Structure 1
Amino acid sequence: MDTLYWIFIGIAFAISFVALFYPILPGVLFLAAGFLIYGFAFSFEPFTPLFISVQILLFLSLFVVDYVGNAYAVKKKGGSKAALWGSTIGLIAGPFIIPVAGILIGPFLGAVLAELIFQKKGFKSAVSIGIGTVLAFIGTTLVKIVTQALMIGYFYYQVL
């Protein structure tokens, strides 16, 4: 039975990484699910107050990095809130409309179209903002990969 629990924990952690590329999935919740599966199946004893505090800070940082990174890139390129909303909608819809490539094309098109339609910006400016959102997505995704790996590594360090 222990092996089955570890498989479920591994699946939850794997889905948390898949969620980085399919943002409709609540990746952070799958990380927490992995921790909870361990706690209920084995023991909550390794989850010290320090462990819980560190994990909460890292959970919060995942949200902050995601939002601040994209907002900063859009602002730096001269984009509006419409571009931010457009890139977010594109990020969610893109992977489902165009599997694999949609994760990059979606936010780009969302930001570009939002700037062209709602802000009446020129094509060159809108494309620059769209590129900024894609670069921000790539950067924040790399940070989130490292953060999630640290969270999981710390979990294994505590429980093994």
Structure 2
Amino acid sequence: MIILYWLLIVLMVVGIIGALVPGIPGASLILVSIFVWGAIDGFTQGVWIALATALAVLLLSLGIDFVATYWGGKQAGASNWGQIGAFVGLTLGFFGLLPALPFGGPLLGILIGPLLGAIIGEFLYRRDLEFEPRIKLAAQAGVGIVVGNLVGRLIQGVLAIASVIVFIFTTWPPGVT
């Protein structure tokens, strides 16, 4: 039982990393790990508390993704075109449809895709401006969206860590019910 407990904690640490790095499951991996522990060890009060916390973190993480990216873009002056471009860039980057790079693959695409998509979307929207101010505003909007996304990832990472800490504190020592 103790080995399984520690393996699930290792899986939760991967979930914490996933909350920070796009393309790796984050809060959902932590939630599944807690559920597995509850199914094996019995759904004690401590497991229910950890499960409720992990579910709340998962729901918050979904909202934070959208709100932080939107907020970062709006702070940098991005239009809806920039926001849509970032989403399209993320999708294309995730599926590896950006030009193939010699290193990084889809992970690099997930990081670069939103930036390029936001810049292209904003550049297309700002057709009324001359080239130089147009490209400057497009780049500013792209950077704002990416910064918002990074801030959201950091918040998700902190929430994921808190979820794992709640699990450890409510279920320690393992195997004792």
- How many residue pairs get matched? 158
Matched ranges for 1:1-160 at <5 A: 2-4=2-4, 6-15=6-15, 17-18=17-18, 20-23=20-23, 25-45=24-44, 46-48=46-48, 50-94=49-93, 96=96, 99=104, 101-120=108-127, 122-160=134-172
Q: Which runs of 4+ in 1 moved over 6 A?
A: none
Q: Secondary structure at the match of 2:14?
A: helix
TM-score by length of 2: 0.74
Whichever residue aligns with residue 130 of structure 1, its letter is: G
Do the aligned partners of 1:87 and 1:111 also contact (CA within 8 Å) in 2? yes
TM-score by length of 1: 0.81
Task: Determine the C-alpha separation between the residues in 1 that align with 2:72 and 2:136.
Answer: 16
Structure 1 residue 158 displacement after superposition: 0.6
Determine what percentage of the aligned residue pairs are the same residue.
25
Q: List alignment gaps of at least 5 residues for structure 2.
A: 173-177
The alignment yields a C-alpha RMSD, in angstroms, of 2.6
Task: Determine the C-alpha separation between the residues in 2 that align with 1:79 and 1:31.
Answer: 34
Structure 1 residue 152 displacement after superposition: 0.7
Larger CA Rg, structure 1 vs 2: 2
Structure 1 residue 74 displacement after superposition: 1.3
Structure 1 residue 51 displacement after superposition: 4.4
Structure 1 residue 22 displacement after superposition: 2.8
Task: Determine the C-alpha separation between the residues in 2 that align with 1:33 and 1:13.
Answer: 13
Q: List alignment gaps of at least 5 residues for structure 1.
A: none
Whichever residue aligns with residue 155 of structure 2, its letter is: V
Do the aligned partners of 1:83 and 1:112 also contact (CA within 8 Å) in 2? yes
Of structures 1 and 2, the one with the larger relative CO (CA 8 A, separation 6+) is: 2
Q: Structure 2 vs 1, CA of residues 92 and 152 (structure 1 numbering), >3 Å: closer, same or farther?
A: farther
